[in-house]
Amino acid sequence: MDMLYMLFPVSGVHTWVFLPPLVALVVSAFTSMGGVSGAFILLPFQMSVLGFTSPAVSSTNFVYNIVAIPSGVYRYFKEGRMAWPLTWIVVTGTLPGVFVGYYLRVFYLPDPRTFKLFVGCVLLYIGVRLLYEISGKGQASKAKLVALDRKFAERSRSMKEAQCSHTAAGLPPEAVVRTVSFTLARMEYEFWGERFSFSVPAMFLLALVVGVVGGTYGIGGGAIIAPFCVAVFDLPVYTVAGAALLGTFLTSVVGVIFYSVLPAAPGLSTSPDWLLGGLFGLGGFAGMYIGARLQKYVPQKFIKTMLGLLILFLALRYIQQFFW
């Protein structure tokens, strides 16, 4: 049995070798449905359960993203649910933000206790925003998103009646993203008979801020930008997920480079634990594919509710740990 336990010399973590991939598989299968890699949950797991609290935990989280995300992106691409202009806006904005986030983490938030408070505040925002979206007030101004949910429910009901089975119908093959127009001022696209648009400068500014927070946290930014795109820009989660994941992947690559080569405070470890991050990534690779494959069978409201409750729980726990 001892042979199944392993010491990871970079992080100092000593754990069952199958624990990282199993945890990552379960987490990513669920979170990838909402365009989130799951890194925002795996970082608290590494800190609280595995005892990995140095700044290197942020870069290790980036390694997880790099290994895990491609399978989910592939699935969204194959099913035609990649909003490519949105993806490149997100990437262009978050890359410089990750650079700033690195310096905030290494020089201003190296203390685990202070960093936990930062993590808690980030998670609190994400969780509250997601839960607000599914409230009556949050839904009132989102007619197009409500219309998609109604179509989803009607299609599932009609398919079940026609087939006399309990098989979930999910999204139809024609529910793909089609770009209508894209300029430096605004992007508009069509999805399942509804048109959605957003301000390109506003999205770029959001991505820049998200890059700073994501670079500090070690999540790439998808956990923040995906809920924000749905809540503030009124975009359907079915079209945001793939773009958010691909943006997270590319910014994670840059994040690993920053944490590996840029100078840090004397005696402070910032380079990733490649082996630990790789094991998390292997589980995440399988989980991402499963989540992206199942997303079209799951209503938006369910995805948002489960994500919001989980995130809110983690946020309150970390904020409470700072004060008590």
From the number of C-beta atoms within 10 Å of its C-beta (0-12, 13-18, 19+), residue 232 rates as middle
Structural domain containing residue 88: 2-263+270-323
Bridge partners of 198? 187
pTM higher than 0.85, yes or no? Answer: no
Question: In sequence order, what E strands does the chain have?
Answer: 5-8, 13-16, 177-182, 186-191, 194-199
pLDDT of residue 141: 54
Q: Which CA distances in Å does 162 have to 123, 158, 168, 169, 173?
A: 43, 6, 12, 11, 18
CB 225 within 8 A of CB 207: yes
Residue-wise pLDDT for 186-238, tens only, equals: 999 998 888 999 999 999 998 888 888 777 776 766 667 877 787 778 888 78
DSSP letter string, 133-155: HTSHHHHHT-HHHHHHHHHHHHH
Give the chain's domain count.
1
How would residue 108 be classed by pLDDT, with cut points 50, 70 and 90? confident
Distance, CA of 203 to CA of 209 (rounded, Å): 10
